[in-house]
Amino acid sequence: GDSVTQMEGPVTLSEEAFLTINCTYTATGYPSLFWYVQYPGEGLQLLLKATKADDKGSNKGFEATYRKETTSFHLEKGSVQVSDSAVYFCALDTGRRALTFGSGTRLQVQP
């Protein structure tokens, strides 16, 4: 079945450091890929998405490129802020209108 694998957390960085959160997937067909962010006590917010190979999603300084050859969708940001501290979820949708999520990666950014 479909699955998403994310790097284990927590990831602890200093402010202005470079961020990478790895995400790889297994799916039939050609899924759409998403990154969601969850702040404490809140639901999920869509951060960015990509619907086909080589697409790059970007938002608020975050970027991720859909790599079909490596089945990956790694999240990157050039300079993190304390306000980026949250849990990040990678997810896919193969068109069955059901998201498959990774286990989430907690990011802690220290001032």
Partner 1 sequence: KAGVTQTPRYLIKTRGQQVTLSCSPISGHRSVSWYQQTPGQGLQFLFEYFSETQRNKGNFPGRFSGRQFSNSRSEMNVSTLELGDSALYLCASSFHNYGYTFGSGTRLTVV
User: Interface residues with partner 1 (CB under 8 A)?
Assistant: 32, 34, 36, 42-46, 49, 89, 91, 93, 95-104
What is the smallest separation between the CB atom of 73 and partner 1, expressed in angstroms?
14
Q: Among residues 13 and 38, whose Cβ is nearest to partner 1?
A: 38
Long-range contacts of 59-68 (CB under 8 A, 24+ apart): 62/35, 64/23, 64/33, 64/35, 66/33, 68/30
Q: Taking the complex as a whole, how short is the minimal distance between the CB of residue 49 and partner 1, in angstroms?
A: 6
Query: In terms of CB distance, is 103 or 110 closer to partner 1?
Result: 103
| Rounded least distance, CB 100 to partner 1, Å | 7
Q: Least distance in Å: CB of 34 to partner 1?
A: 7
Give the nearer residue to partner 1 in terms of CB position, either 70 or 97.
97
Question: How far is it, in rounded angstroms, from Cα 108 to Cα 93?
Answer: 28
Is 59 or 72 the residue whose CB approaches partner 1 more closely? 59
Which strand (E) or helix (H) includes residue 47?
A: strand 44-50
Report the candidate in 44, 50, 47 with the shortest Cα–Cα distance to residue 19.
47
Cis-peptide into 10, omega within 30 deg: yes
